[in-house]
A and B are shown apart, each in its own frame.
Chain A
């Protein structure tokens, strides 16, 4: 409290009254040194490795780059114009929006659903907790490789589906179905982490409040809606935000399952960056894509951040 009070004092003090400048500066440092010292390592590290390289990426996006010869020519916005007027970008952009929206919503719903199931005091519940979490221990590369065996034509899934008498399905060869399959593969691999986080949130829910509500005759849904949800909402929001941001970066699973194909039908922005940079050696266009992707992520996260007070109960900031 004392620090906060001083802070405010300094805050108004620098607002320009009669205080002599030197003591004000000294007072300012005395009040803030501890805070800056704590933040410094993180901020300096981020400035060097994040800000500087991002600025460089923006610069690269304004250049035509021959990666092999190292020749760089300034071309202004040409990379952006080429991208946006090209016929691949609209497709990839739509795919990205679909992937991010569907993946994030589905992920949070599934994570919360499983966490609720696991939150019951059942015998052997630890085994189920482990089961859900185990895929998260496998690297994405390995998970995608195994999934490919299961999903390929005449793979395990086709075999299982054949018992229902259904025709073989091109799991990895049709746009929306395949994007959904990719979402499923990515989700089963990673949702365990979110389940754990949700579970932690659920276990922190005030049991007395729940029992009081039950005594008052509130049903399962009412208790969930009016007691549980408000209390876990900060956790849920955090998990959702992290998932949204992460879903923009999906990569290995697309590389291994479809390679973005057929054509560009299952390509998303993060994969197209890789494609442009490392397959086509066009670092200029790749950087332009990276900037576009960065802007998208910033816009979406800012919107979520801005409306968090409406979503989150008890955000006491």
Chain B
């Protein structure tokens, strides 16, 4: 009897294993033979009801124009949940049909053949105006002729400042310094120390950095001319002298000058608790509710020049999805000139025809063109995207952990610590 039970269990287990393992190699692509209209799932990380409503509207328009699609569902999760869910879903061979994807993940997903080549669809759709897509912004998503994603949002990390606090300490308005060409990290740090001493408030908040999201440190890193790895993502450059200078500056700001929060400390700029914050352009809507005078400027320059960091997200379709053709057409629809113009109310676009201060003003209702002009100039002249590693997930996890362990502590010896960081992430890089 016992043997029979064990035998039966083993049989069930084997059957399930076979079924489970057969999964990923099974059906992928194709519209299926039947003419039944299909439903598409699109995953994104917007929470703003207006933005979601716009997507729903565009989805309905798409359904009206495409007989083979009966419904498009936009599912919203947080970005960190998205990073958790996508691999699980892909590993279980049940991804959404399309989604937003941050540029950091581009190479990793492309190398894994997880994304659909959109090029044929984009070129095929009437009125798409493929050549209007700004080449420089498409670069991370292109491989030869193939195009695996269409960037729809190119948000620069900019500096928001509390003008009242600058005034109270009798300091020059940062935008004046930008005009005078003296706007750099040294000046900012001097100003912030004075403001902290005068008001007791935090000087600078790197938004969403929290000592675990190294990407948010890029404005500082770029200003010092640093880069975490070489262009091919093969060799760790975290221990370069530029990085040493950048992280030493951070260390001084945190522990010596005490102008930016310590690890674990939370602070809030929008409620008036800090003099400046570095956040995405998309955060500007929050200015509508603040009760202080504010301004925006490009992030400060440094010894490495004026580094303007730009974050990017694209829309992609998944090759393991069941309706790859319809999904590709959906992405094409959402990024056509008309849709992207509508989306540019929230997301800085990637079409040459839309890249001007007027469109950006539309996407930043709280700010005027005069405030945005210097930022746009900075983006166009010095803009650099997030560095992409071939095994992004693993490299990012290792980098964040190593920085936390070796570099962010109060008694860290920065040069030695950065060498330890390189030792930790080098094995995850492509070389």
Residues of A within 8 A of B (CB): 47-48, 51-52, 55-56, 59, 65-72, 148-149, 151-154, 170-173, 259-265, 275, 277-283
Contact = CB atoms under 8 A, between A and B. Distances in A.
Contact of B90 (A51, A68, A148, A261): A68
B293 interface: no
Contacts, number: 105
A154 B20 CA distance: 50
B93 A70 contact: yes
B218 interface: no
Contacts of A260: 401
Given A47-B9, A153-B262, A283-B87, 7 more contacts: A52-B16, A56-B16, A151-B264, A261-B401, A279-B84, A279-B396, A280-B394
B25 to A, nearest CB: 7
B263 interface: yes
Contact of B397 (A68, A171, A279): A279
Nearest to A174: B409
A261 B93 CA distance: 32
Nearest to A65: B91
A262 B90 contact: no
Contacts of B113: 69
Interface of B: 9, 12-13, 16-17, 20-21, 23-25, 83-84, 86-88, 90-91, 93, 108-109, 112-114, 211-212, 261-266, 320, 393-394, 396-398, 401-402, 404-406, 408-409
B12 A56 contact: no
A153 B109 contact: no
B334 to A, nearest CB: 22
Contact of A68 (B21, B112, B398, B401): B112
Nearest to A48: B12
B87 A281 contact: yes
A33 to B, nearest CB: 13
Residue of A52, A68, A72 with highest tally of chain B CB at under 10 A: A68
Contacts of B211: 261
Given A262-B404, A263-B404, A153 B93 contact: no
B265 A152 contact: yes
A262 B43 CA distance: 32
Contact of A52 (B12, B112, B212, B396): B12
A31 B386 CA distance: 70
Given A48-B12, A52-B12, A278-B87, A68 B114 contact: yes
Nearest to A255: B80
B264 A172 contact: yes
Given A261-B401, A261-B405, A262-B409, A72 B264 contact: no
